[in-house]
């Protein structure tokens, strides 16, 4: 039985590094992996996954309209796929998450999704919401707040380092616009309002 995994974390926990290492592990054993990342993530140039620590690998891009089950099934028909790895999984649509569940259940290929849990206001993304609902395994990757506690929230800051409290859920830009914080410091930075 293959499983659908969701490795969730805040910003800068090292998600891409762990994804690339997992793919490396499969390939080292002579197995074939398929990598995807969101089309809107431009950190690494078109069509690649890169980590802050200096690793990178080519990846297919997914956009909201892409049928991931069909795409993976087609690739699998050409060359056996042993593992699918998806970065920036918070940007998957709900339909795509169910397509990835079919990849696990029908094609029997394990699917490892890496992504953010919540946005800059503590709300779920569409992809993280669907993965938290139906993934077989939820596994947290730990990041650290400046106070030493576990960072679970993502604060958006402006050019002067001030907390941003409104705006689009997704804003194209570098990691320097976000800072990972524990819930207490996140709430304090938002002016003490817990309710989003």
How many beta carbons lie within 10 A of that of residue 65, not counting itself? Answer: 8
Residue with Cβ nearer its own copies (142 or 162): 142
Give catalytic residues, as residue numbers. 88
How many beta carbons lie within 10 A of that of residue 162, not counting itself? Answer: 11
**Distance between CA atoms of 163 and 166, rounded to whole angstroms?**
9
**Distance between CA atoms of 71 and 117, rounded to whole angstroms?**
25
**Residue of the chain from 32, 73, 75, 105 that contacts its own copies (CB under 8 A):** 105
What distance, in Å, lies between the first and last C-alpha atoms of the chain? 39
Footprint of its own copies on 160-189 (CB under 8 A): 183-184, 187
Residue 96: CB minimum distance to its own copies, A? 10
- Establish if 20 lies at the interface with its own copies (CB under 8 A): yes
Residue with Cβ nearer its own copies (146 or 167): 146
How many beta carbons lie within 10 A of that of residue 116, not counting itself? Answer: 23
- Establish if 18 lies at the interface with its own copies (CB under 8 A): yes
- Establish if 28 lies at the interface with its own copies (CB under 8 A): yes
Of 26-34, 59-67, 84-92, 157-165, which part binds its own copies (CB under 8 A)? 26-34
């Amino acid at each position: 039985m293959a499983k659908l995994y969701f490795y969730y974390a805040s910003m800068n926990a090292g998600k891409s590094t762990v994804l690339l290492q997992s793919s490396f592990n499969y390939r080292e054993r002579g197995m074939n992996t398929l990598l995807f990342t969101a089309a809107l993530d431009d950190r690494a140039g078109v069509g690649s996954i890169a980590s802050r620590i200096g690793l990178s690998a080519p990846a297919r891009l997914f956009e909201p309209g892409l049928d991931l089950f069909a795409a993976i099934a087609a690739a699998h028909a050409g060359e056996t796929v042993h593992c699918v790895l998806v970065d920036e999984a918070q940007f998957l649509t709900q339909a795509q998450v169910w397509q990835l569940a079919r990849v696990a259940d029908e094609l029997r290929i394990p699917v490892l999704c890496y992504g953010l849990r919540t946005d800059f206001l503590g709300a779920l993304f569409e992809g993280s919401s669907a993965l938290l609902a139906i993934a077989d395994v939820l596994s947290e990757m730990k990041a650290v707040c400046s106070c030493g506690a576990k960072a679970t929230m993502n604060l958006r800051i402006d050019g002067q380092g001030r907390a941003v409290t409104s705006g689009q859920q997704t804003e194209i830009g570098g990691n320097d616009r976000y800072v990972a914080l524990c819930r207490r410091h996140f709430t304090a930075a938002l002016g003490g309002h817990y309710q989003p």
